[in-house]
Amino acid sequence: MARERTSARNAPRLEVALRAELISADPARAPLPVTTRDLGPGGALCESATPTVAGANLSFSLEIPAGSRGGVEKLALPALVIRVEGTGPYIIAIQFHRPPTRIVELLKRYLWRLSRETGR
């Protein structure tokens, strides 16, 4: 179920659980699996069994349904870890950092479709 959340962010986020990964620029580090709690064009709040470091620059990678043509769109957005909370599961707040406009537009369209489908 999706629900819109608002705060002092530039754009609202939608409560949605999607599998994603936080990928380090260091190829020796394995991708960190996360599940989104909420997602918006400016960032996400995620949950993970493993912590990461606040201040880390990572790539946020996820697949979203491609809409009417079927299939999925794989998105990768540069992200900054804003904070990490908890002792397991860990709550990881990320902010997208200068994401490509095309990727942001794909994400916005997905969130718009999701909000229409769920009535939120």
pLDDT tens digit sequence for 12-46: 788 999 999 999 989 999 999 999 999 999 999 99
**How far, rounded to the nearest angstrom, does the alpha carbon of residue 47 sit from its chain's CA centroid?**
10
Angle at 74 between CA 49 and CA 16, to 5 degrees: 50
| Mean pLDDT value of segment 67-94 | 91
| H helices present in the chain, as ranges | 101-118
| CATH assignment, 3-118 | 2.40.10.220
Tell me: the pLDDT tens digits for 45-67? 999 999 999 999 999 999 998 77
Q: Which residue has the tokens 């990881």?
A: 92
Sequence-distant (6+) residues with CB within 8 A of 82 are: 43, 54, 93, 94, 95
Cβ–Cβ < 8 Å for 18, 2: no
Q: What is the pTM of this model?
A: 0.85
Coil, helix or strand at residue 25: coil
User: What count of Cα atoms within 13 Å lies in the side-chain half-sphere of residue 92?
Assistant: 30
Of 64 and 8, the one with more pLDDT: 64
